[in-house]
Amino acid sequence: MLIDGRSLWLADTNCYVVAAERGGPCVIIDAPPDVPAIEALVVAHDLAPVALLATHGHIDHAGGGAVTAVYDIDAYLHPDDEFLALDPGSQLRMLFGMAPPELVGQFSFPAAYTPLEDGARLSLAGVDIDVIHTPGHTPGHCCFHLPAEGVLFSGDQLFAGSIGRTDLPGGDYDTLMRSMDEKVLTLPEETRVLPGHGPATTLARERRTNPFLQGW
């Protein structure tokens, strides 16, 4: 199994490639608005993308949707987050307080998405990926679990030492913590967590040290 990632764009968003082996088909997980850097990650392992999975619709995770045109692949997103792709300018103003035209022009969202469904198992690039709908950071936020590898791509649900922010439109703290309790912390403690920002961690470590998870 090959899993590699790069921290890209202004928000240092982690973009990952997942493949059964080097030189074969792969899945891209999250696409920040830096398509050349995503292409470089793919080329580094001689991979052939077959799909783009977006954990959620924020611009720093889905604004590089032009990568789907580069490789002629489908993008997957939960339907509850499609509204976020309609107005990247508003997202910029929410995140950074401004929306310069030259920055808005960096973003490209696919014209359509294949809908993600909670509990679905996607078999892509020779890898089985379970979809876990974890609303709270955004209404359609999803984590991606590779049960055979013991790996969870947590997006902006869970970070090393923290959790996703819930102060943006569609965010809700109680909903995020319910998702954490019912969907994330039920996974094996040895699960390796690869978040949307920052370093990798494990569920066991977060249970012990994450201040937001004390008492769970």
Find how far residue 189's CA is from the centre of its chain: 21
User: Please, are residues 152 and 192 in contact by the beta-carbon 8 Å criterion?
Assistant: yes
Question: DSSP assignment, residue 108?
Answer: B
Q: Is the pLDDT of residue 150 over 70?
A: yes
Q: Is the pLDDT of residue 215 over 80?
A: no
**Distance between CA atoms of residues 140 and 117, nearest Å:** 10
Token pair of 35 as six digits:
């398509």
Find how far residue 205's CA is from the centre of its chain: 21
Confidence band of 190 (pLDDT split at 50, 70, 90): very high
Q: What is the pLDDT of residues 26-60, one digit of tens each?
A: 999 999 999 999 999 999 999 999 999 999 999 99
Span 195-215, mean pLDDT? 96
Q: Report the share of the chain in percent with pLDDT over 90.
A: 83
Question: DSSP assignment, residue 57?
Answer: -
- Name all domains of the chain by residue range, CATH numbers in brackets: 2-213 (3.60.15.10)
**Distance between CA atoms of residues 129 and 137, nearest Å:** 21
Q: Is the pLDDT of residue 17 over 90?
A: yes
Backbone φ/ψ region at 30: left (φ over 0), alpha (ψ -120 to 50), beta: left
**pLDDT score at 196:** 98
**Distance between CA atoms of residues 95 and 62, nearest Å:** 14
**Distance between CA atoms of residues 136 and 126, nearest Å:** 30
Q: What is the pLDDT of residues 165-184, one digit of tens each?
A: 999 889 999 999 999 999 99
